[in-house]
Chain A
Amino acid sequence: MDMEQKHQPETREDCDILRELIPAYSLGMTDPDETRMVERLLLQCPDVAPELAEYNQMADAVLLSVPQVEAPPHLRQALLRSIRRDVAPAPRPATAPRWFDALIRSFTSPTRLFPAAALSMMLALAIAVYALLAVDNFRQDHRTLIAQLQNRDALLSLLGTDDLLTFDLIAPQAEADSAPSGIILCNPDQTLVVVQVRDFPALPAGMAYQVWLTHNDSRISGGLFQVDAAGAGTLIFNAPEPMREFEYLGITLEPDAGSDSPTSPPLVRGQLY
């Protein structure tokens, strides 16, 4: 029977067709249209399932039946070296605690000025956040930890100012709720910047997100960061100049060693001032 001719399907014939294709299907030798047919007909012909299971067993046996050759000894070390590179700690923490997230969210007021009475609470929270981050980063290298402690002092200084501003990071073609987004926290007269994002796509291997500041059409890198499984990430960095000098902040996907200039369109972008 010509399998290309489609007529009113008769279950018995279809099951016979299925039986003819099962051996090849079990070894991955069916063409895509045949594969789709087999998977459709399996639902109509449950009696064929045990035969498929037997052929699958045979396919497994073929995989195991080739003459055995020991892998060269150096292959083991090469593999372990590769996976050690995979687990090397990221230069920045991938996540911030949830209450740091809430702290940052509390800065989304459009008017951007904070009553002096609330500042002391904010400062206390910031100190606790950084203490938590320091513990979380215990396994990171010494230089990274020193840099973060220095950032802690700068962050406290940032939070203590009256001119703290926030800006939204928005995806260029934002769709529903799951579009990537974020906020920028900075003082126009200072260089310290806090960027927090959410709903970012998972990073492919060997890639990172890179922050860019725009000044007169030139792009200046603010640094690289990773995101956690939920797509959340935080970057704290020092801009080369006070933040009032920059017009936009954007984030792109780049190789994890960083790029000299953006190589892809921004996932999110925020207009400053």
Chain B
Amino acid sequence: MLDYSSLSDEALVQCIARQDQTALSQLYDRYSTPVYSLILRIVQDAKLAEEAAQDTFIKVWRNPERWNPEKGRFISWLLTVARYTAIDLLRAELRQVTTHASSLDGAHINSDVNPVDNPTLTNNRLLYTLLDELPPEQAQLVRLGFFQGMTHKQLAESLNLPLGTVKTRVRLGLQKLRVLWLEATRQHE
């Protein structure tokens, strides 16, 4: 009997390409929390998050060949799929989401969750808090851009700001975030 828990992500995806449902279950068990967490952060609604999370794993099931191991880790690709699935769903629902993390009543928040074989998840959690160290006008644009998929022009139109101002704030904000992140990462090594 194959021990799916010992298989790499790449091996599991190869099994999924052969319609192996157990392999998909294993990937779900491995990554459902980061996928659901990211989606919930974007859509800010538990029901929508469930729908988008399910859609994300169904996309993996139907098109496993879309992940190219040479281009990056599976978790990176999976979360990118989750991000755009959530953003598409959000736009379809035409919801207005604030830039602040609104209350998630009823959601079980487990700060100790640490999925198998992904210690980087714990280390990277600090990046989220580093966003708070940016100037508010820069943090606002970065959060809107990343968690709502807004581009420079969309941010300028939505916030009634000059396009040049948006580009400058985004660039400076991300450059500063990168410096903070690199410093924090080195401290944790």
A69 engages B36 (CB within 8 Å) = yes
Which B residue sits closest to A33, measured CB to CB? Answer: B153
Given contacts A34-B152, A60-B76, A63-B76, whether A70 and B170 have CB atoms under 8 Å apart is no
B33 engages A84 (CB within 8 Å) = no
B174 engages A65 (CB within 8 Å) = no
Number of A-B contacts (CB under 8 A): 155
Q: Which residues of B contact A62 (CB under 8 A)?
A: 124, 127-128, 146
B128 engages A20 (CB within 8 Å) = no
Q: Which residues of A contact B151 (CB under 8 A)?
A: 28-31
What is the size, in residues, of chain B's interface with A at 8 Å between Cβ atoms? 63
Q: In the bound complex, what is the Cα–Cα distance between A259 and B61 (angstroms)?
A: 28
A82 engages B40 (CB within 8 Å) = no
Could you give, for residues 52-66 of chain B, a 1 whenever the CB lies within 8 Å of some chain A CB and a 0 otherwise? 011001100110000
Given contacts A67-B111, A71-B32, A75-B32, whether A86 and B152 have CB atoms under 8 Å apart is no
Chain B stretch 6-39: residues in CB contact (< 8 A) with chain A: 19, 21, 24-25, 28-29, 32-38
Q: Which residues of A contact B133 (CB under 8 A)?
A: none
Q: Which residues of A contact B109 (CB under 8 A)?
A: 67-69
Chain B interface, DSSP helix/strand/loop, else mixed:
helix
A64 engages B61 (CB within 8 Å) = no
Could you give, for residues 114-157 of chain B, a 1 whenever the CB lies within 8 Å of some chain A CB and a 0 otherwise? 00000011001111100000000000001001100111110100
B152 engages A24 (CB within 8 Å) = yes
Chain A stretch 72-88: residues in CB contact (< 8 A) with chain B: 72, 75-76, 78-80, 82-84, 86-87
Q: Which residues of B contact A72 (CB under 8 A)?
A: 46, 50
* Contact of B165 with A by CB under 8 A: no
State the Cβ distance, B78 to closest chain A Cβ, in Å. 9
Given contacts A20-B171, A66-B41, A76-B32, whether A82 and B54 have CB atoms under 8 Å apart is yes
B145 engages A23 (CB within 8 Å) = no
B62 engages A24 (CB within 8 Å) = no
Q: Which residues of A contact B181 (CB under 8 A)?
A: 58, 61
* Contact of A54 with B by CB under 8 A: yes
Chain A stretch 19-48: residues in CB contact (< 8 A) with chain B: 20-21, 23-24, 26-31, 34
* Contact of A237 with B by CB under 8 A: no
Which B residue sits closest to A84, measured CB to CB? Answer: B21
Q: In the bound complex, what is the Cα–Cα distance between A30 and B28 (angstroms)?
A: 31
Which B residue sits closest to A82, measured CB to CB? Answer: B58
* Contact of A257 with B by CB under 8 A: no
A65 engages B125 (CB within 8 Å) = yes
* Contact of B107 with A by CB under 8 A: yes
Which B residue sits closest to A63, measured CB to CB? Answer: B79
A-B contact pairs, 12 of them (CB 8 A): A24-B170, A28-B145, A54-B182, A58-B174, A58-B178, A60-B73, A62-B146, A64-B34, A68-B110, A71-B33, A71-B36, A86-B61
Q: In the complex, given contacts A64-B127, A66-B40, what are 10 additional A-B residue pairs having Cβ atoms less than 8 angstroms apart?
A: A27-B174, A29-B151, A54-B182, A65-B124, A65-B128, A68-B125, A69-B33, A75-B50, A80-B24, A86-B61
Which 5 pairs between the two chains have the least Cβ-Cβ distance?
A23-B174, A71-B36, A65-B128, A65-B127, A63-B79
